[in-house]
Structure 1
Amino acid sequence: MLKAVEEEEEPRIRYFKNMFNSNEERVVSETEEQEERGPTSKALKRMKQGKVLVIDKLTALASTVGRDYTAPHYKYHDDPYLIPSSNIGKRTFALSKESGRKAAQWIRQEHSKLFQHRHADPPIEAFYPRPVYDENSEVTEDTLKKVIGDVSVSDAITVYQLLEKKGEVLSESTKQSFLELLCYYNGDDALPEDLIEERWFRQGTRARERQRKTWKDNGVAETVFRSIEPSTSAAYCALLQGMTRHYQVDRAWQLFEEMNHKGVPLTTEAYNSLIRVTSYLREGVEQRWRLIEELLVAMAKQGLQPNVGTLNSALETVSTMGLQRQAKTYALRTLAEFRKLGVEPSLASYYFLLNTFCKERGPTSSILVDIMSHINGRSFTIQDPKDTFFFVTAMDLCRNHLHDKDLAWSVDALLHTGNNYDLIGDSYKESIYYRNLFALLCSTEPFEVFMEFYNKMVPNIYIPEPGIMEEVLRAVDLNGAMDQFPRLWSDMVIFDHTDRENLITDILAGMVRNQPPSEDLTAKFAKVAWDIWTKLEAQDQERYRQLRCTGPILGDVMILCLRAGDFPKASMVLRKLDKEQHKVLGVPKLAALQLFLETCIANKDVTNAIWCMQYCTDAGFPEAGQLAQLLKDGVELTDSQVTELANIVGSEVMLEKETASIAAL
């Protein structure tokens, strides 16, 4: 999982560098010149060569082994008592560990004078405090280049402003690099790349945020753009891409028209960014498609070769056209044209096709079957940020759109081909993916096959959410696999699901309906029931989320205790039902009270039997008279006990029962 996030970050940087042309080559060449002039150039070269060699060896070794499903992720302590076993526990553990790292970094930064020892050769910059730039700092253009290369946006802005105050003249290449950095990050600092866990758990939340304008109008980026004289095509394209990336689409279009008027050529990436926001520039479906065609024609006239980014931008816009039939036609036409040009789709391309053809309220489409037949067995590398949406969307369609378990297995096999698991995305997408897969397999596969998969994946790869656990419990009940109930209860305790009323109700009802043939399993059922009772009694009354005490739950606990021959515990449950009727929601099933009464008759315990009859009458059971007759027929009562029983259920009821018995004779 950690590896997946680390692998995802490199493409993100690569995407940033490809988006703004030539910045990588410029920074690399300048860095190499500095290294050649520096005293540690040989050491740096040795370090780079050694790093490449180590990575190659580790990659080769990793390819020889598969995932160990019996072991937790290596970021957790290798101790069964310390390994988190719930979703919230995993998240808390990982982010707490990262919080400690951030605290250490803060201490290092705040007390930087204590961390100036430099024994490593070549020096490891990540171990040293970051320099703090203020009005008294001596900065040069090389300083600005360094902070740009470190992707430190706030420091780059500060250094740039200091250089402006000093009247330093910056080279056009440095200004261009600075402009690209500002446009990509909109003047804000990016989340540090070493905070892997925070990125892993935050990306899903950010992806669900509504797309809206976040561009900082008249900010530092636009100031730097105006300072580049004369304005170059690279500067125009960087600003245009920054505006479209942060949804300042109106001004981006004005800038595009200004470039056309001045004859400034655009890059392929600039055209791609405009195509991606076409749905914000035009209202109707036909108008949007016409604008896409115009932009593609303009690219052709300029002699630009479209790439996979162009394809994905067009397909993304088409996927927002709703249920229109033209959208499907446009999508297929676009895909066919780009294949003629030799542009191979990425996973994002297929993701947009799925969004176009498989609408929630639209007709059923089997396009995923065609896509899988084309890409089965292939290993992909990330080419678009939306590549990480394919697998989670495909599995959602397998479950909710097609309900096809064979296709789901095919998608899962593709995910585990090569390094494709790197494209699962983040924690949120991974959880949704397995949620859909488990729900589909639970309802379609033979129970034994599903439980084999469950045992393989849970808990180290996936921890079922309460909704999935509810479906598993129902499948166990439906298939009569009663031996699984104790194990699933243990999982519920570990996964912190024991405060879910629906799960407690389901597991108790399932154990009541499936009466085990063996005494050992009956005793295990009773232990589970008593664990639930203990939790009900011990829960904090001031806790916000409490497990409600209901009559059906207590009734099922009574039945399971009585089946195991534990009459005293069943009596405790009935006492709670009787004494705390104002706190208990609802009443137990009649079967629970009847079993209690039958046990009293078998034990000749008249006192508890009459007490049970009193509760039946108070709870309003119309069958109280029948139970009273059952008691009278089952055990010899004294005159006082008969009178007490008649006072509880009514003498007329007892008389009716006696008359009915005589008539039957």
Structure 2
Amino acid sequence: PHRVQLIRAGICGYSTNTEEKIEIPKRIPRGPTDILRALGSTVGRDPTAPHYKYHDDPYLIPMSNSGKRTFAMAQEAGRKAAHWIRREHADLFQHKEADPPIEAFMPPMIYNEQSEVVVDDLQTLVNTAQVSDAKLVYKLLKQKNVEITPDLEQSLLELLCYQNCEDGVSEEFIEERWFKQSKKAREKVRKTWKDDDLAEEIFVSMENKTPEAYSAIIQGMVKYYQVDRAWQLFEEAQQKNLTLNTNTFNALICVSDFIKEDFEMRWNLVTNLLVQMKDSKLKPNLGTLNAVLQSLSTMGSSISARQNTLKTLAEFKNLGIEPSLASWYFVIMTFCKEQNKEHTIRDLRDINFFMSAMDISRHHLRDVNLAERVNKLLHHGDNYNLIGDSYKESIYFRHYFALLCTNLPIEEFMAETYEKLVPHIYVPEPGIMEEVLKQVDANGAVEYIPKLWSDMVVFEHTYRENLIESILNIMANNEQLVNSELNERFAYIAWDIYNRIENQDENRISKLNFTGDLLGKIMTLLLRNNEFDKAWTVMEKLDKDQQKIAGVPKLEALARFVDQCIEQKAPSKAITCIQYCSDCGFPEANILASKLNDKLTLDENFLGRLSKIVGDVTFGKIKESA
């Protein structure tokens, strides 16, 4: 009883003395796709599988860069056709696909010169960035003397300046944007601003030009490289004591190399603009940092440019502005530095970082370890979204591939890099494929030749003369490393090369021509695998077209053919080869004729043919012994 009471007392004491606190954790905001992202993070990229946009069918999966582009653009062309049908036949799409209705699923409004429009129509078009329709509706409203509010006119001006008065590619057409950006990156920088278009008309028509209007028109002109006119408007705004926004100063700093050619004058211009920002009490932002670094990157690799780069980074660090990948893109021309964390795009120029970082790793530092670190950073989290476009992606992997190819053991490179990246992530260009073949040759790794030839066929590299010569040289010059299985595969490759050159399209612009050395190597590879009939076809080609074919085979190839003729007891074909040797000026033709006569019993017809080739004096002893 006493024990029970003690237990009860203990329980009561415990329950009364302990205060239970329920702590409700802070709510974490979740998006509609967070669960999918969490699941997706558990699965890495499968390098052996094609991109999801390609059909999972071996006969439809593109393997070359041009094939990937064609496939993706054709697929997008189908979507464009669907959009066109919906737009042209809007009367057929009156059913409700969603309730409440989703604007994106509805056919767009079509405007023409007879359309009855109101200000709200213009507001909607500006909000949805439909430039062509916005221009038309604005002109219709002006013709009807409809008053447009200053705010709406300013919004329209900003849209026109940003888009250069033309429609951009819809966000729905991802592939077109992907490939169009890559084309734009390769274009030479030039003025594309549309002079005297609606943007300038609106700006000129404004009675009281506001700082916002000046900022919009200057930024638009700078973006499309109408730099001289933009600078004039900037000076005009300064004379009127108008305070322009930070982004306008950033834009002008970016094109300082167009305004001033001398490095010192250019840096003075940048510092003057920064001082004006300070006097106007404008706070710099990340765009300011990147604009200054971009300007410094155009000033060569002088000591002053490097020092100013470091000073700029330190100054903006004190301001609490963290650099983005675009910042490091401008820095790595001299300094290579990366941070191993997940990045988000904070500046449109962030997409230049990875391509340039890998370029520096390959050409400037030749550092495999640094290249691996950059590649690890690229594949960390969602950083791959910052690769840019198809062109930058291809350049990035070209540098990465070439660096590892020349610095890693060939076995490690083929297993860890080539097999994982080719062909679904990267298709080697002919120059890179030639580098791979050089490394295979240098390391005697002839077992990789069948795989490489198979890929060359898929990538449409089989009409590249340098690649054909390289692969034939490797197969022909490494006989001591080849077993019977490889002999068979090499013979197949050699015969495939012969047929591709022989049967190529007559209308092909850059045709691949036979050479004597090339045919000699093909014949050698066929003879090693005892494919005498095919070797005879090659010999016939040499004999019949010797006036068209540049160069001659090596004597070893011709001697091997004569030996095979002796084994096959085919003296007529051997005599054809000896005749070819004599015509090409080989003094060893006599030796081959003597060998043929010693090994085979020749009749008078064959002896007579040999006599005409090597001469009676040289051949006299052969006749007597016969």
Work out whether the TM-score is over 0.5.
Answer: yes
- Please name the residue that 2:579 is paired with: 614
Deviation at 1:59, TM superposition (A): 2.1
Return the match for 1:412 from 366, 370, 375: 375
- Distance between the aligned counterparts of 2:594 and 2:404, measured in 1? 50
1:109 shift after superposition: 2.0
Kindly name which structure, 1 or 2, has the bigger radius of gyration based on alpha carbons: 2
Counterpart mapping for 1:280-299 below 5 A: 280-299=258-277
Letter in 1 for 2:423: P
Give the equivalent residue in structure 1 for 2:281.
303
Instruction: Give structure 2 stretches of 5+ with no counterpart.
Output: 1-28
User: Among 225, 233, 253, which residue is 2:203 paired with?
Assistant: 225
1:586 is paired with a residue whose SS is: coil
1:83 equivalenced with 2:83 (yes/no): no
* RMSD over aligned Cα atoms: 2.2
Deviation of 1:117 (Å): 2.8
The match for 2:342 among 356, 379, 386 is 379
Moved more, 250-259 or 461-470: 250-259
Judge conservation of contact 1:175–1:228 (CA < 8 Å) in 2: no
1:626-662 Cα distance to aligned partner (Å, 9 max, x none): 333333444444565444323212345557999xx9x
The Cα shift of 1:573 comes to 0.9
Q: State the partner residue of 2:72.
A: 94
In 1, Cα distance between equivalents of 2:104 and 2:547:
64
Contact 2:97 2:105 in 1 (8 A): no
Determine helix, strand or coil for the equivalent of 2:332.
helix
Match of 2:540 in 1: 575
Matches of 2:367 and 2:281, distance apart in 1: 45
Cα distance 1:657–1:298, how it changes in 2: closer, same or farther (>3 A)? farther
Q: Deviations over 1:31-60 (max 9, x none)?
A: xxxxxxxxxxxxxxxxxxxx9843222222
In the alignment, does 2:131 pair up with 1:158? Answer: no
Residue 49 of structure 2, aligned match among 52, 63, 71: 71
Structure 1 position 196 matched with structure 2 position 174 = yes
Does the Cα contact within 8 Å between 1:476 and 1:482 map onto a contact in 2? yes
Query: Percent sequence identity over matched residues?
Result: 53
Q: Which deviations, in whole Å up to 9, do the C-alpha atoms of 1:600-631 show, x marking residues without a partner?
A: 23334322221110011122223323333333
- Measured after TM superposition, the shift of residue 574 of structure 1 is 0.3
Report the Cα distance in structure 2 between the residues aligned to 1:101 and 1:198, rounded to whole angstroms.
11
Distance in 2 (CA, whole Å) between partners of 1:540 and 1:213 is: 42
Alpha-carbon separation, structure 2, partners of 1:337 and 1:66: 39
1:521 aligns with 2:486: yes
What is the count of residue pairs matched by the alignment?
Answer: 595
Q: Which has the higher contact order (CA 8 A, sep 6+)?
A: 1
Q: Which amino acid aligns with 2:73?
A: L
Equivalent in the alignment of 1:11: none
SS at match of 1:535: helix
Aligned-residue offset at 1:219: 2.1
Deviation string 1:102-143 (CA, Å, 9 cap, x unpaired) is 122222222222223334212222233221112322222211
SS in 2 for 1:266: coil
Q: Which amino acid aligns with 1:616?
A: C
- The one-letter amino acid paired with 1:514 is N
Corresponding residue number in structure 2 for 1:505: 469
1:422-471 Cα deviation digits (max 9, x unpaired): 11111111111111111111111001110011011111111111111112
Q: TM-score of the superposition, structure 2-length normalised?
A: 0.91
Normalising by structure 1, what TM-score? Answer: 0.85
Q: Which runs of 5+ in 1 are unaligned?
A: 1-50, 358-366
Residue 486 of structure 1 pairs with residue 450 of structure 2: yes
Shift of 1:61: 2.0
Question: Contact 1:395–1:436 (CA<8 Å) still a contact in 2?
Answer: yes
Q: Does 1:425 align with 2:388?
A: yes
Amino acid at match of 2:554: K
C-alpha separation in 2, matches of 1:552 and 1:125: 68
Structure 2 distance, partners of 1:290, 1:309, is 19
Q: SS of 1:552's equivalent? A: helix
State the match for 1:455 in structure 2. 419
For the residues of structure 2 that align with 1:217 and 1:605, how far apart are their CA atoms?
A: 80
1:352 matches 2:330: yes
Q: Matches of residues 103-182 of structure 1 in structure 2 within 5 Å?
A: 103-182=81-160
Aligned position for 2:352 = 389
Residues 227-281 of structure 1, C-alpha deviations (whole Å, 9 max, x = no match) = 4443222122111211211222222222222222222112111110111111111
Which residue, out of 586, 590, 613, partners 1:648? 613
Name 1:31's counterpart in structure 2: none
Is the aligned partner of 1:536 residue 2:514?
A: no
Q: Distance in 2 between matches of 1:420 and 1:652?
A: 81
* Change over 3 Å in CA distance of 1:239–1:52 after alignment to 2: farther
Please state if 1:553 is matched with 2:518: yes
Letter in 2 for 1:602: E
Conserved? CA contact 1:244–1:277, under 8 Å: yes
Match of 1:338 in 2: 316
Distance across 1 between alignment mates of 2:331 and 2:378: 18
Report the residue type matching 2:222 in the other structure. Answer: T
Partner of 1:591 in structure 2? 556
Partner of 2:252: 274
